[in-house]
Chain A
């Protein structure tokens, strides 16, 4: 804006600060109280801790099984996202470059499926895969994420692949590359910007997902971070300090990810939404 006056600027800045404080206040409260003992929290939840004790953290760490939950979440998210990227990019390449009639039908099916909410298929999903004994395994969960992630990711890649000139393909094929090499060495590298966006959207979704893993993962040792936080809270509702420390633990990884990848995350979310 060209005509913003000095006083207007000051007003905007003040508003910004007040709103930001309001926004992060709940998270700040959790952090502050995670260092206090139970009595302190109940007596004065708003005050800073008299002494900063890490006792809650050590207790939360062991009881919530943080290491195992973190490793499960990392394994599931990383493997599932890599599979989604590989298979949806190649699928989009296939759907764009081969003009078979079937390919249009597939694309329409992918688009139509995006309005189906998980709740609408959750009951048959559980009975089907329960009968096939595919529940209770991290690897099945990864496969399910691939299935649920294919439609949106393929759709986003589809728009991007269409923009890649066909001359690229022709040049590579004339140079003697096979179709697999053409895709892996020419096309996929060109798709890098959209790959980042798709990767980020899928990471945030899979990392934070609760309902699907809660239906699929039965054994405690398979639990992801949201799951272990949930079960931990069921037992620890009255022991606030430890519960707060557990919440901080479950937020740390994604906050680190955010600090490192902030620009790409914000850009990715915008691009993903506007598509």
Chain B
């Protein structure tokens, strides 16, 4: 496979995953905003910006933080790197560059997702925003489904590798930001607002029901963190993403004979995560832990580029 193609496939995986994540984040924030009678609504949108590393860019627009502005910013604003439409545009450009490596179905799915957003003037009100988000989730699911029906070869694995690396990053950022920024001052831990916020986190990663299945206790921050860090059953947990990274690198190595630094890093991280006890992480500093994880993820990304000679 061409090095350039491998790189495009990997980034296609990353950008589709990112678009899906931002869509979920907007959806969950709309919910949190609706539930909050207090200024927590504004804080919710503030933290959504923080999760997507877009706080400064938003501040630069000079607009006040509210649902209409932030939702527009994160969905259809073509000038913003973090917006869904820009993620989809990047995904589509990468997909176009490697059309020959994709099936017709996979390409059509990504092209359709882009068409949903392309030239969209405004997200409209809450209903329209939710409709848009729902449409994008459906299209990215369609893309994932198409990827699973592609030949089991390097093309598929590079897309899934990109998705897994991106997903690990997204979950880590989500937990980090929500855990530290969300709770307004004076609001008791375990209170209504706190509870809503943890539900929001679970919603963002589609894990509300999963939580009920895995934990007999009611909603507890410690257990939500345990779920998102250490439970391999949950597809968006750090443990699951890390495991998938190892698996994809293994498949690629077997087919191409290319194994090296990226595999070693991924395996070492996986082994460490298996030993991780989430309550210990919370005690010793969740923020530091997640920051280290995000840094490590970036290092792994760089190692993947070197290992597969991305152009």
A is bound by B:
no
